Chains A and B, each alone.
Chain A
Amino acid sequence: MASPSYSANKSHRNTIFVVDAEILRHEVYPGHQHILRVQAEDCARQARPGQFAHLTVDRQRPMRRPISIMRASPDQGWVDFLYKVAGEGTRLLSQRKAGETISVMGPIGKPFTVKEKKPLLIGGGVGMPPMICLAEALRRQVDVQPLVILGSEIPFPFDSKPSQLMLQGMPDGVIGGMPLLEDWGIASRLASLQGYPGCYEGYVTDLAKHWLEALSADQRAQVGVYACGPEPMLRAVVNLAREYQLPVQVSLEEFMACAVGGCAGCVVAVKAEQGVAMQRVCVDGPVFDGLRVY
């Protein structure tokens, strides 16, 4: 059995910061979605796409909740999170108001590492934030052309607008994109089964397939897939990557206690050379090689 990589050297020390962070903004969107902005300078400076922070939600529920980082401003020191109320912890978090403080512990975990020229980013529901974070990091790389496909079965937490960035292979009418990504010059398209205007009516993976089919073999060889979202979506994304023989990284979530690798509470089964290893989502992940988890 392979084991989690219990830290042997000391380079991991002092990489996670705990701060009582002021809530700068806390906006609510349809479908019990919330965008939370906190002032957490060290976390903002060190955050990388795919990482998360462990947030205290309320005195009544003192266990922290792991929430993906959507955006971080190293200059202004704020960090944005998008979450959906899923249980008692996130319900209590949603009641916290601007001006209050919450304890923010982060950034935590292994980030995405992008090597390809045409990264395909797929985010579903509350799996969108790491993709937005990754897109923001990639916008600074001139020779990289990412495509972001976002899917949701509840209204998107932004007003979509027709994209000016043309894409090969998109079915007629699939023109809606995320304005923030559009502003960064990054192409995006939306998918939903709910018939939202401008969105592809179907699964994110089916829309991705349209795009992949329109690429030449050479172009396709430059694609790497990055995904975060519900488990059935991630499974479908990994199957798609397998079909097209593309590398794929997925960001996972699991009930979590310590978030620093101490308790081994948040494990996922990962295929390793010596069989299956139970690896910790918090510090061995949350980003894993998709082909090893599904």
Chain B
Amino acid sequence: MSQPDPRLAQTFCGMSFASPLILLSGCVGFGEEYTRIEGFSNRDCGAICLKGTTAAPRSGNPPHRIYETSSGMLNAIGLQNPGVDHVIQNILPELDFNETRFIANVSGSTLEEYREVTRKFNDSPIDAIEVNISCPNVKAGGVTFGNDPDMSAKVVEACREVTAKPLIIKLSPNQTDIAGNAAGCIEAGADAFAVINTLMGMAIDIENRRPYIGNNQSGLSGPAIKPIALLKCHQVYQVSKAHDIPIIGQGGITNAVDAIEFLLAGASAVGIGTALFYDPLVLPKINQGILDYMHRHKIQCITELTGTLQLNSADSVLTGTGCSC
């Protein structure tokens, strides 16, 4: 089995990532689903975030759960999962931890549920724990916690108390001050951030005068949200860099250019989700595209790229020639 080029490797919160590409929670089931495809390999990514997991099994939302929109898609799955005990007893033992790193994604409706699920994953072989305080498609918990900075910090604190594994906080874009929220999460014990989850949206079938999505509202992903995700990633980096807290930048990445933009904006790794639906063999293509860029810019290690964005100065903005007013 071939591994990505060693120049793409890094240590992220103590874990060795073979590539900066992270497969996003909710897109790849529990880590084995995409391996049905010939030519797809878990070894082409740095880590896989497993499907959001709760204390008890959840059957999720009614159909339709998926709808394509311009340059993106809406989804409202509703955290369908078999529950943490099933995941730990039946799914984790079947994963090949030599292939990549596996990250659990913890969701809950109450503080106690977040704590309980995290505690159980702490006693499992999982490599890290992502705390989902940004799911837009459930009635309790999720984004209602993630949009309230005090609650966000409390969730992080509750999870921190019960695990020494890397704790990655998945932040919502559906809030006013994402950087302020990130600062509170760092104080509460966050080790890393995933920026961003989906944006809340809707699509309507005008013939039936009903939303296409069974849950009515849903989360928007795909290239449509990339500029928003990029700015949020940059904003969180302004807070996190002083603490050496790394970011997984994500939202609409479909190619190497997109991925490099996130790295420059402050991400150390990048999440791939909707792009897999377009092209399930996209991972080696993005890896190669990043390598080509590194070669052109004489960069030896992927970590040299993080946060190297050079902002336009106030002077150059005022005197720039691009403005027509």
Contacts of B64 in A (CB 8 A): 254-255
- Cross-chain contact A261 with B29 (CB below 8 angstroms): yes
Number of A-B residue pairs with CB-CB distance less than 8 Å in the complex they form = 134
For residue B315, CB closer than 8 A to chain A, the reply is no
For residue A86, CB closer than 8 A to chain B, the reply is no
Size range of the chain B interface in the assembly: 35 or more
Q: What's the least CB distance linking B93 to chain A, in Å?
A: 9
- Cross-chain contact B277 with A63 (CB below 8 angstroms): yes
Q: What's the least CB distance linking A107 to chain B, in Å?
A: 11
For residue A170, CB closer than 8 A to chain B, the reply is no
The residues in A between 1 and 60 inclusive whose CB is less than 8 angstroms from any CB of B are: 1, 3-4, 6-10, 12-18, 42, 56
- Cross-chain contact A255 with B59 (CB below 8 angstroms): no
Give which listed residue, A8, A10, A18, A276, contacts B37 with CB less than 8 A: A18
For residue A73, CB closer than 8 A to chain B, the reply is no
Contacts of A266 in B (CB 8 A): 63, 65-66
For residue B281, CB closer than 8 A to chain A, the reply is yes
CB pairs A–B below 8 angstroms (11 shown): A8-B90, A8-B94, A13-B36, A14-B37, A61-B68, A63-B277, A89-B68, A263-B66, A264-B26, A265-B75, A267-B65
Q: Which residues does A use to contact B, with CB under 8 Å?
A: 1, 3-4, 6-10, 12-18, 42, 56, 61-64, 89, 103, 105, 254-258, 260-269, 276-278, 283
Give which listed residue, B36, B39, B57, B58, contacts A12 with CB less than 8 A: B36
Contacts of A62 in B (CB 8 A): 277-278
Contacts of B73 in A (CB 8 A): 63, 257
Give which listed residue, B29, B59, B65, contacts A276 with CB less than 8 A: B59
1/0 contact trace for B63-91 toward A, CB 8 Å? 11111100001010100111000100011
Q: What's the least CB distance linking A232 to chain B, in Å?
A: 16
Given A63-B278, A267-B80, A260–B38 Cβ distance below 8 Å?
Answer: no
Contacts of A18 in B (CB 8 A): 37-39, 279-281
- Given the complex of chains A and B, what is the CA–CA distance between A256 and B38 in angstroms? 20
Contacts of B29 in A (CB 8 A): 6-7, 261-264
- Given the complex of chains A and B, what is the CA–CA distance between A262 and B277 in angstroms? 10
- Cross-chain contact B63 with A267 (CB below 8 angstroms): yes
For residue B32, CB closer than 8 A to chain A, the reply is yes
